Structure 1
Amino acid sequence: MGFACEDDARRVLAILPKRFAKYGLTIHPDKTRLVSFERPSRPPRRPTEKCRESPGAFDLLGFTHFWSYSLKGSPVVKRRTSRSRFSRGLRSLKEWFRKHRHLDIAAQHQTLCQNLTGHFAYYGITGNSVALSRFRQAAVRLWRRSLSRQRRDGAIAWNQFNQFLERHPLPPSVAIHSVCRPVASS
């Protein structure tokens, strides 16, 4: 919940556990806290500079929300993939490759494409393209490592693997949900 006045936020934070207890619920202490998320006070030296004082970055729904500056120099709230969700996604992908190394390449390719498409569908928002590209590159490295373990003559060279990727292309890391594009009405 967001509040303009700190007093209102403190009042709700005091009442919330009692309200939850009425229904037999409890509040998780790590997920329920006060965060000062004020607009930065000083103008940036460069338009793309991030806020140095970082007034209260927080994680919510798999994204880290933080203050930064737009290209025109005005402060804006930006979002990027949370570190914990990024590493958890790569960990699960690595585990999947370890368990399914015996599958043929077509099945591995299909599952990897589905995994990447799902990741891009959720985390593909405006301003998160760097994290999407990093996730795709890490997935490519994991797949190469997995395929290299099947070979007797060592790791696949990168030029060979890049030719392999031309025959088995992976989905591009693209921001699917854009604040600039209008939503298609159905």
Structure 2
Amino acid sequence: MAVQSIDRNTWLTKLERIKLLSSKNQDIKFNNLGHIIDLKMLEEQYKELDSKKAIGIDGITKEDYGKKLKANLLSLLTRIRKGQYQAKPARIVKIPKEDGGKRPLVISCFEDKIIESAVSKILNSVFEPIFLKYSYGFRPKLNAHDALRELNRLTYNFNKGAIVEIDITKCFNTIKHCELMEFLRKRISDKKFLRLVMKLIETPIIENDTIVTNKEGCRQGSIVSPILANIFLHYVIDSWFAKISKENLIGQTGMVRYCNDMVFVFEREADAKKFYDVLPKRLNKYGLNINEAKSQMIKSGRDHAANLAKQGKKIASYNFLGFTCYWSKSRFGTTWRLKYTSRRDRFTEKLKGLRKYLRGQLNTLDKTQTLSQVIRVIRGWINYHGISDNKRRVSSFINQSTRAIYNWFNRMGGKRKMNWKRLTEILKRVNFPKIGKIVSMF
């Protein structure tokens, strides 16, 4: 069933109507989606974009683009409507990964970011209503804490089961364009809009001073990549897992996926083994591969934890969303449950980066600005890691961060200038972060 998306309402109202139709009819296909993109929508995307983000190869900033905003947006819209729009090449920056490697991120030109934002909103309206409860990444009103909370619930309910932790090798960069487009066609019949999406997916990138057409993958850093990855993994993993759980497995199952970070939970170990055996074949079918070094099947559940404890053993821990997941007794020792602590390697790396930044600011004339930047980093870390059972690690992070700031003050100019009493007064004035309200995982 195909429906026309054009009406007399604003672009925002149209998107809300698409969400409603999509949620009510699983077989619906949307046409004329491209006409939702109008001057008002493009202007709104312009306003939403962060002016502080890195700029593309053309060197145009948000401020530059805004000097002739109406003319620029009209030119952009005309090119889109005539099918003449072509994204400029994106530059690549590589950021360190925790395993010592580098993660490539694309930096699009500002005008292309406007289109990426508009297309992302349309795709979200079409596909968000059909996404399953398993998926938590880059979705409205859901976050990593919700995913961790759900994993805690699932593992507690299955007393003597197992989990399968999966890491997909270069997930974003190995998504097959032909397969992705087939998934998009399940809900979209607007060929012109699909061609626009394909142009964004195939945005050329600059590697070693050479322009290369992107023939595979949805490059991280692009505004539209998260929704495209979610659509791809919805069909490849989420809906397939729901189907085989119902038709091929005996016990209860559960799953928590935050984009390409995922854990599968099983009531029965036999089901977990059966699933772990067949999953690589499913992923290979769509061009994805399991990173065996970071994937595993392990026991899970209160009974397993208690029985192993009697033998002086523990259930193996695993990592998920920046935390190490491990089994331990509850606060009052009445039962066993899953707990979280910040990953030691990420914890160490964050502090290392903080100290390195401060060492680079020894000759700064603006101590207030430096301190404000450090406090933003510390507060962001605390807000994410301040969850149940992780108070000790958060306290350690605050203490070591404070020590790093103390050393920074005293190394300026080679003379000792700061004592703890004075530093405490300064940090109090600038509202230095403390352990606030702990986010419950229950």
CA contact (8 A) 2:318 2:324 kept: yes
Distance verdict in 2 for CA 1:165–1:13, change over 3 Å: same
Aligned pairs for 1:136-147 within 5 A: 136-147=398-409
- The reply to whether residue 20 of structure 1 matches residue 283 of structure 2 is yes
Using the TM superposition, name which of 29-38 and 60-69 deviates more: 29-38
Q: Among the aligned pairs, what percent are the same residue? A: 26
Hey, what's the Cα distance between the residues in 2 that align with 1:179 and 1:4? 21
Aligned pairs for 1:110-129 within 5 A: 110-129=372-391
Hey, what's the Cα distance between the residues in 2 that align with 1:161 and 1:20? 54
- The reply to whether residue 81 of structure 1 matches residue 342 of structure 2 is yes
**What's the secondary structure of 1:172's corresponding residue?**
coil
User: Partner amino acid for 1:146?
Assistant: W
CA contact (8 A) 1:38 1:56 kept: no
**What's the secondary structure of 1:77's corresponding residue?**
strand
Name the residue aligned to 2:274. Answer: 11
Hey, what's the Cα distance between the residues in 2 that align with 1:66 and 1:83? 13
- Residue from 294, 300, 309 that aligns with 1:37: 300
Hey, what's the Cα distance between the residues in 2 that align with 1:74 and 1:176? 22
Hey, what's the Cα distance between the residues in 2 that align with 1:144 and 1:152? 13
Name the residue aligned to 1:68. Answer: 328
TM-fit CA distance, 1:162: 2.4
Name the residue aligned to 1:101. Answer: 362
Supply the RMSD in Å over aligned alpha carbons. 2.2
CA deviations on 1:28-53 (whole Å, 9 max, x unpaired) are: 112211112242226x9xxxxxx952
CA contact (8 A) 1:97 1:146 kept: yes
Distance verdict in 2 for CA 1:23–1:134, change over 3 Å: same
**What's the secondary structure of 2:347's corresponding residue?**
helix
Considering only CA atoms, is the larger Rg found in Structure 1 or Structure 2? 2
Hey, what's the Cα distance between the residues in 1 that align with 2:425 and 2:367? 14
Using the TM superposition, name which of 75-84 and 160-169 deviates more: 160-169
Distance verdict in 2 for CA 1:53–1:175, change over 3 Å: farther
**What's the secondary structure of 1:16's corresponding residue?**
helix
CA contact (8 A) 2:358 2:408 kept: yes
TM-fit CA distance, 1:175: 4.3
Aligned pairs for 1:107-186 within 5 A: 107-154=369-416, 156-179=418-441
Hey, what's the Cα distance between the residues in 2 that align with 1:136 and 1:144? 12
TM-fit CA distance, 1:92: 1.5
**Structure 2: tracts of 5 or more residues without a match:** 1-263
Hey, what's the Cα distance between the residues in 1 that align with 2:437 and 2:385? 8
Q: Hey, which of these two has a bigger chunk of strand by percent?
A: 2
TM-score of the superposed pair, with normalisation by structure 2? 0.37
Q: Hey, which of these two has a bigger chunk of helix by percent?
A: 2
